[in-house]
Chain A
Amino acid sequence: MTKSRNKNNNKAKIGFTYLLVFLLLLFFFYAIRMILLHRLPPDNSRIPLTALEEKIPIPPRPGVQGIIITGPVIKDLIFQIDTKTSQLRKLDWRRIESIDKTADVKIRATVLRNGSLEFNPITDVISPGHSYAGNEIAKVVETWKYTHYKHGRIYFWFNFPSSGVKLTIDTHELVRNEDLSKKYFVRNGLLFYINGLPLSCVNQAGRVFVGE
């Protein structure tokens, strides 16, 4: 019995010791805080009454200084064959190929500001020895009309015997129309209207050399 009493007494002593330690810790914590507060200059330890009168500048809210209204997407303009033209004719590649497999026709034309194509069928169509193919192609090409975003010289080379590129279009002399707003980019689209010619046989960014 004495042993248990002693045990209890020891426990109590330990408990009180812990309590004392914690209270001492608290006391020291507060003491250090008080000392540090006292060392601070008076302004930093107390809010002066005059500070309550100061006005905090409120930053302006969005929409108070101006507004930006998000507008429509600017779509690029595409210089291409204008399929809405009523007199537009398609060139039947296979038909001409079946008649004249070795036809080699070059056309030097001018795209006018309204998009229509202009060339002289006699002087601007070069097809030595392939007059039928040259005439047929010229009749079809003169019906082609483009969207009115560019103007200038355009060259076509219909090279039937080629195993690779059969149609080359030279557009490096085309320039953008001046009346177009600068905000638009003008890209090249499909510049030919041909049936039976795979796209892989066409080079729209090539160079065509036509004798003057």
Chain B
Amino acid sequence: MAFRTKENSFRKVQLVSLIDMIFILLVFFMVTVTVVRLTIKEQKLPVPTPISERGRAQIVIQLLNNGNFLWLDDHATAQISKVMDTIEKNYSYLSPSELNRKKTEEALSILLKKNIFRKDQMEGKLKHLLKIADSDPSSHYFVLLRSPDEIPYYEIINIMQKLNSAKYQNVLYGCVGGRLDDIKNSQNVKVVIEKDKNGRRRENLQIDF
């Protein structure tokens, strides 16, 4: 009987997987190795910076340390606009810089007298804003929330939660640190007429810190 001798099993090296591994290693090292700078000139990385340092919003809420808050919206703008017109008529004899100073003083006095509300009025104000936003899905509101560092975080979170409850998510908000003193000590308050993206002319209230 001729038995076939078992061949010594030749240990085959699995070449396919080896080639795959080599490829992977090659690609890995090529991608992760740092880029060698061939020129001596330093490369400048573009750092995104805000185009305007002024915050633009439909509503500005400045929280105060005593729990009250300053609420500035288009009503405040309309109030200030009337005052500015009156001052321009009555004080036309003043030089432009003096007229500007007079306007700023009057505007600030009105803003701080008529637009500061108590803590318990916040809920009502936010409800009213949400009611207006919910009645018109195409409208968009941006609320700039300014608060000093001492305000507990949960108070800000509460306001943000309420603003989030807009039915059509058309109320956005942004938070930034700031104090009432920034507004009080403003050297330049003016009403600026601008055209919005729909071509309508709007009166915007500009307060520079």
Residues of A within 8 A of B (CB): 1, 5, 8, 11-12, 14-15, 18-19, 22-23, 25-26, 29-30, 33, 36-37, 40-41, 44, 59-74, 179, 181, 183
Contact = CB atoms under 8 A, between A and B. Distances in A.
Contacts of B73: 69
Contacts of A70: 56-58, 74, 77, 196, 202, 204
Contact of A61 (B12, B176, B202, B207): B176
Given A33-B36, A69-B74, A71-B77, A62 B53 contact: yes
Interface of B: 7, 10, 12-13, 15, 18-19, 22-23, 25-26, 29-30, 33, 36-38, 40, 47, 49-50, 52-60, 72-74, 76-78, 81, 85, 89, 144, 146, 174, 176-178, 186, 191-193, 196, 200-209
Contacts of A73: 200-202
A63 B178 contact: yes
A64 B37 contact: no
Given A62-B53, A70-B58, A183-B203, 17 more contacts: A8-B10, A11-B15, A12-B15, A18-B15, A37-B36, A41-B40, A60-B53, A61-B176, A62-B176, A64-B178, A65-B209, A66-B207, A68-B54, A69-B57, A69-B206, A71-B191, A183-B201
A62 to B, nearest CB: 4
27 contacts: A12-B13, A14-B15, A18-B15, A18-B22, A22-B23, A22-B26, A23-B22, A26-B29, A40-B36, A62-B50, A62-B54, A62-B174, A63-B146, A64-B55, A64-B176, A64-B209, A65-B208, A66-B55, A68-B57, A69-B58, A69-B59, A69-B76, A69-B205, A69-B206, A70-B196, A71-B205, A179-B89
Contacts of B37: 40, 44
Contact of B56 (A37, A61, A62): A62
A1 B56 CA distance: 85
Contacts of B19: 15, 18-19, 22
B34 to A, nearest CB: 9
B203 A44 contact: no
A1 B19 CA distance: 27
A21 to B, nearest CB: 9
Given A44-B40, A71-B74, A73-B200, A63 B174 contact: yes
B38 A72 contact: no
For the complex of A and B, 9 pairs with smallest distance between CB atoms: A63-B55, A71-B77, A65-B53, A15-B15, A66-B54, A71-B203, A63-B176, A66-B208, A59-B49
A1 B58 contact: no
A180 to B, nearest CB: 10
Given A8-B12, A36-B36, A40-B36, A72 B78 contact: yes
B30 to A, nearest CB: 7
A69 B36 contact: no
Contacts of A179: 89
Contacts of B186: 66
B204 A69 contact: yes
Contact of A25 (B12, B26, B72, B196): B26
Contact of A26 (B26, B50, B89, B202): B26
B38 A67 contact: no
B208 to A, nearest CB: 4
Nearest to A184: B201
B26 A68 contact: no
A65 B54 contact: yes
A118 to B, nearest CB: 26
